[in-house]
Structure 1
Amino acid sequence: MPDPAQRVADWLATYDTPTTSVSHLLCDRHDPHATAITEIGPTLAPTTLTFGDLQQRSRDLATGLADLGIGQGDRIATLLPKGIDLAVTALAVWRLGGVLVPLLSSFAPSAITERLTGSNARLVICEDEQRGKLDTDTPPPWHIATIGPEPTRNGDHTLAALSQRGHGPAPETAVGGDGPIAVVFVSAPVGPPRGVVVPARALAAMHSHHHYGLGVDDEDVYWNTADPGTAHGLYHGVISPLLAGHASLALRAGFFDPELTLDVLGMYQVTNLATDPTTYRTLRAATKTLPPEVVVQRLSSAGEQLSPEVIEWVTDMFGVPVRDHYGQTELGWCAGVPNGDTGEPEQTLVPGAVGGSLPGWKVQVLEAISDEPAPVGAYGRIAVDLRQSPLSWFTGYLDNEAASQVRFTPDGDHYLTGDTGILDREGRLHFSTRDDGAILTHGYRIGPSEVETVLNEHPAVEECGVYSVPDEIAGQLIGARIVLASGFEARDGLAEELREWVCERFAPHAAPAEVDFVAELPRTASGKMRRARLR
């Protein structure tokens, strides 16, 4: 078995070159008869796409996009669920050297527009039912295409029409290791969301985690449940299985249902499941016995730390342990207990511990002031040692130099995650808190200021403060303290009206579960809001 360090070096040598072509690496080099994706519909009926099908369909679409004027470096946003349409669209974009901007379908129109504007998108490709979110008072600077057979609005395109309109062979563009392939937006503690620019060389980190962290092999039936608008859904639901030439499942359902999840696990004989803590918590609350046809052999979790109670339940129910993994949109996943064979003795699963550094990474905990490694067992800032992490790839946020600078120590040797924790004597990471105040709810990362900005636009709101509320299923819910504007009172129904306001202008998963009306917000002597006191 190759040494992990050598295998990481080999991946970097393959993916970080001047001639790197994403479409070749994710599709064209694989067996055209092998299954790439099995899309599962609401009735659990499958639709299969081979690598050969993916190659032909993405080439046809790329030809049409090129005829539309889309070329290298152009940003194409998607409002598409997991499945075949998204895979074909992504490969077509990458054939042209374009940059994919995946967006959450749950976003409200204003949140979508903010990200389209921030990424300078040239084209938006969406489901027909999402088309209404793109309506604007003035003609937008981007083209719009839907996946239905007919245009939804005058001037719109359809994927089918684009695939038939091009002339000549589709270009196969090499972007090189530094060439951007995606922009993924993350919520910020203050201000608008930040665009994380993902270069082609990040494919090495994705392949490494697919192999070592998730432990996916050629015989696996692999299912990643994450939304493709999130980093885990894009990196390891779309990209890494295609990169490795592995088949993957994509459930095309607009809701999470524990019974449906168990049906898919059993009917499709899933052996490798990658999901989030909310899924495990919901299954725990709704499941008493596991159907005998469920044969999962490897389980992993990402997004937030699993509680010891959930880990114990999953192990007892499935008969195999769930491996917790730590990472960020800006990194991929860099620490955890591997599901794949690294050649090292198997790490002991310790409740409350995420695990050690994965191959290609060196995760450390630094002193708060000196940036020196903290003593064993001492709390500090979780950081990635860039000198010992060949898989690191993040260099900064899109058009946001100030936010980029605070992610690195002054000497540039460490990437600062913004999280705190400790390392134990065995090198296992114990996550503590998030310094940036982000709220993780139902697997989504929400910046409090984003919700506050939306609430403050309501005429009844003078000012507000948003905070996290612990929840057994969601992990965290969103709470809001509201100071009412002059002339408004805390009438019946106002709290629900504010929730709907956030749903319609941001996203349903960002709507506050708890709304309280207060006379004033807690502040310091200088007037800064004291978020810790909001609870």
Structure 2
Amino acid sequence: MALSDPRPAPGSPADPLDRVHELVTLYSDPHASVARLLCDGHPSDAVAYTVVEPDLSATVLTYGRLRTESERFAAALAGLGVGPGDRVATLMGKSVDYLVALLATWRLGAVTVPLFTAFAPPAIALRLLASDAKVVICDDTQRSKLDPGEDIPADAKWQVVVSGSAGRDGDLGFAELLAAHEPGYPAAALGSDAPLVHIFTSGTTGRPKGVVVPTAAIAGCRLYAEYGCGVREDDVFWNAADPGWAYGLYFGVIASLSLGVPGVLLHAGFSAELTWRVMDEFKVTNFTAAPTVYRSLRASGVPVPDGLVLRCASSAGEPLTPEVNAWAEEAFGIQVHDHYGQTEAGMLVNNHQLPALRRPVRPGSMGHPMPGWSLRVLHEDRDDIAPVGTVGRIAADLTASPLAWFHGYEGDPAKSAEKFSADGRWYYTGDVGRVDEEGYFHFSSRDDDVIIMAGYRIGPFEVESVLVTHPAVAECAVVAAPDEVRGEVLEAFVVLQDGAEASDRLATELQQLVKKRFAAHAYPRTVHFVDLLPKTPSGKIQRYVLRRQRQTDPKAHS
């Protein structure tokens, strides 16, 4: 951690907002330099990351090495004509080259465009063309996705740089560019409004939209690590999310680098056994991942190592269902803290890990608003604050949210206007939920997912949370189906655990479970047993796909 930026001991601020204003001031400097804030200001011998391979061999990357190599690669990118504001895309796994590419891009004042390595060419092309990328840096294993075809234009304007073995004719080699340039390239200092990231939403509710993240947003990234995840100077921090998406990039890379704590990157796909081995071998103390990871660990049956030193576990990306914590407390002795955020805002509501903000975890709740954000539940049809316990639209009061930075989608004024009230006070998250008498927020659904049955508004997540407590259920999704009498009724799509068998009896058990554990009127009228659920590449269930499939071919789900 940079000596010029001392951080108070956990829990020490008398008022958490004091820390908010301190960080907002730091990252709002009109002469702010991203490279200095995230790299050069840290001791050169401090560990930035340990990059772990599938065989548990590892490369320790210090801030000194990261600075030197990013200076070399910044010079190389500048030689390709990249300058401040230009877009540089990364189609890369979690590697040393990936971190060097990011820092080099920011050292130039250029903007990173993250591309998830599981993307197919159509998703890649959409993002490259919409961002007007000047350079694409890719792993050799990803190079074929950039070949001209139905989606990738033959006359693409971007230059391709390949990490690993040789690419196509006309490509440039990452290692060769690095070796051909000297360190010492100066760090751009473009201030807080300069763009840092050009990322695209997951497309959960429509076509992906471009979000440009400014340097000032680092304040929220860092505060989430401190308050939400409770990261300390002596932690080994592992955010297992993929940096091709917001949670992995904002909080697995930007937040970690802003703090200067040692981080872990696993250069491999997910496996339960490997996850436990990395936690054990590299003494991870603070871990965060999507709920899918925890559910997969739970379902795997792989024993938890005896020597874990894990003290904090967090989750974000989709709601955390209650059965995960019942397992976690028994398996490794701590609860997983659920957190809620968005690509457009960062993290908004957390079950905070910082001792000064920690409250008892309430099953099904995503916690309390993070200091620096003012969250409210608004009525369905007007911008008035709804009474406690009422399901309504979750919105941020921008007049009292100093961490807010999103002003609209790149090149899409119509969609941008839908996110804000006419007077500019409210940012609409597009999510529906309620707040209880103790200020805990409870997620219900996306706006498009709400089910209205006989006048009752039902959030599918609350029903899904009950269904997954049944030992036969691995995961599920609940959607609306049209009904002549009630307007809409619920239908459930259920993926079973290995060894469980679909039957009418099991369907009835699940219906009765919802009646008993949630509400008699809100049980699924039909239960469909399916092999898998449609998901975004980041693992979020796409309920709208199930609704669309049902509308297209109702008999397929009867």
* Cα-to-partner distance string for 1:235-260 (whole Å, 9 max, x where unaligned): 1111111111111000100x211011
The answer on 1:203 being equivalent to 2:205 is: no
> For residue 127 of structure 1, what is the aligned residue in structure 2?
139
> For residue 424 of structure 1, what is the aligned residue in structure 2?
436
> For residue 465 of structure 2, what is the aligned residue in structure 1?
none
Q: How many angstroms apart in 1 are the aligned matches of 2:389 and 2:541?
A: 37
> For residue 293 of structure 2, what is the aligned residue in structure 1?
279
Select between 376-385 and 160-169 the one with higher mean Cα deviation: 160-169
- Distance change (3 Å), C-alpha of 1:507 and 1:286: closer
The answer on 1:156 being equivalent to 2:171 is: yes
Residue 176 of structure 1 and its aligned partner are, at CA, apart by: 1.2
With normalisation by structure 2, the TM-score equals 0.79
**Following superposition of structure 1 onto structure 2, how do residues 313-328 of structure 1 map, counting pairs within 5 Å?**
313-328=327-342
Q: How many angstroms apart in 2 are the aligned matches of 1:425 and 1:209?
A: 24
Residue 166 of structure 1 and its aligned partner are, at CA, apart by: 4.3
**Following superposition of structure 1 onto structure 2, how do residues 389-400 of structure 1 map, counting pairs within 5 Å?**
389-400=401-412
> For residue 524 of structure 2, what is the aligned residue in structure 1?
none
Q: Which amino acid aligns with 2:145?
A: K
The answer on 1:242 being equivalent to 2:257 is: yes
* Cα-to-partner distance string for 1:30-67 (whole Å, 9 max, x where unaligned): 00000001000110111101000000000000011101
> For residue 45 of structure 1, what is the aligned residue in structure 2?
57
Q: Which amino acid aligns with 2:424?
A: G
* Cα-to-partner distance string for 1:306-344 (whole Å, 9 max, x where unaligned): 111111111221111111001111111111111113x35
With normalisation by structure 1, the TM-score equals 0.82
Q: Which amino acid aligns with 1:274?
A: T
Q: Which amino acid aligns with 1:97?
A: G
SS of residue matched to 1:209: helix
Q: Which amino acid aligns with 2:438?
A: E
> For residue 144 of structure 1, what is the aligned residue in structure 2?
160
The answer on 1:99 being equivalent to 2:111 is: yes
* Structure 1: runs of 5 or more not aligned: 441-447, 449-466, 474-498, 523-528
Residue 165 of structure 1 and its aligned partner are, at CA, apart by: 3.7
**Following superposition of structure 1 onto structure 2, how do residues 252-263 of structure 1 map, counting pairs within 5 Å?**
252-253=267-268, 255-263=269-277
Q: For the Cα contact (< 8 Å) 2:245–2:538, is it kept in 1? A: no
The answer on 1:59 being equivalent to 2:45 is: no
* Cα-to-partner distance string for 1:437-494 (whole Å, 9 max, x where unaligned): 5999xxxxxxx9xxxxxxxxxxxxxxxxxx9945478xxxxxxxxxxxxxxxxxxxxx
> For residue 326 of structure 2, what is the aligned residue in structure 1?
312
Residue 139 of structure 1 and its aligned partner are, at CA, apart by: 2.7
SS of residue matched to 1:335: strand
Q: For the Cα contact (< 8 Å) 1:187–1:193, is it kept in 2? A: yes
SS of residue matched to 1:19: coil
Q: For the Cα contact (< 8 Å) 2:88–2:134, is it kept in 1? A: yes
* Structure 2: runs of 5 or more not aligned: 1-11, 451-459, 462-478, 480-490, 498-531
The answer on 1:214 being equivalent to 2:221 is: no
Q: For the Cα contact (< 8 Å) 2:68–2:184, is it kept in 1? A: no
Q: For the Cα contact (< 8 Å) 1:76–1:121, is it kept in 2? A: yes
Q: How many angstroms apart in 1 are the aligned matches of 2:53 and 2:232?
A: 25
| Number of residue equivalences | 470
Where relative contact order (Cα < 8 A, 6+ residues apart) is larger, the structure is: 1
* Cα-to-partner distance string for 1:176-200 (whole Å, 9 max, x where unaligned): 1111100111133565311111110
Residue 287 of structure 1 and its aligned partner are, at CA, apart by: 2.9
- Distance change (3 Å), C-alpha of 1:471 and 1:199: farther
Q: How many angstroms apart in 1 are the aligned matches of 2:361 and 2:250?
A: 25
Q: Which amino acid aligns with 2:338?
A: D
SS of residue matched to 1:172: coil
> For residue 29 of structure 1, what is the aligned residue in structure 2?
41
> For residue 490 of structure 1, what is the aligned residue in structure 2?
none
The answer on 1:266 being equivalent to 2:292 is: no
Residue 512 of structure 1 and its aligned partner are, at CA, apart by: 9.9
Q: How many angstroms apart in 2 are the aligned matches of 1:109 and 1:511?
A: 22
Match of 2:187 among 162, 172, 188: 172
- Distance change (3 Å), C-alpha of 1:260 and 1:352: same
Q: For the Cα contact (< 8 Å) 1:326–1:335, is it kept in 2? A: yes
> For residue 76 of structure 1, what is the aligned residue in structure 2?
88
Q: How many angstroms apart in 2 are the aligned matches of 1:432 and 1:426?
A: 17
Q: How many angstroms apart in 2 are the aligned matches of 1:389 and 1:283?
A: 36
> For residue 460 of structure 1, what is the aligned residue in structure 2?
none
Q: Percent identity?
A: 42
Q: Which amino acid aligns with 1:386?
A: L
* Cα-to-partner distance string for 1:271-321 (whole Å, 9 max, x where unaligned): 101111111111111136421111210010001111111111112211111
Q: How many angstroms apart in 1 are the aligned matches of 2:219 and 2:541?
A: 37
Q: Which amino acid aligns with 1:25?
A: L
- Distance change (3 Å), C-alpha of 1:318 and 1:167: closer
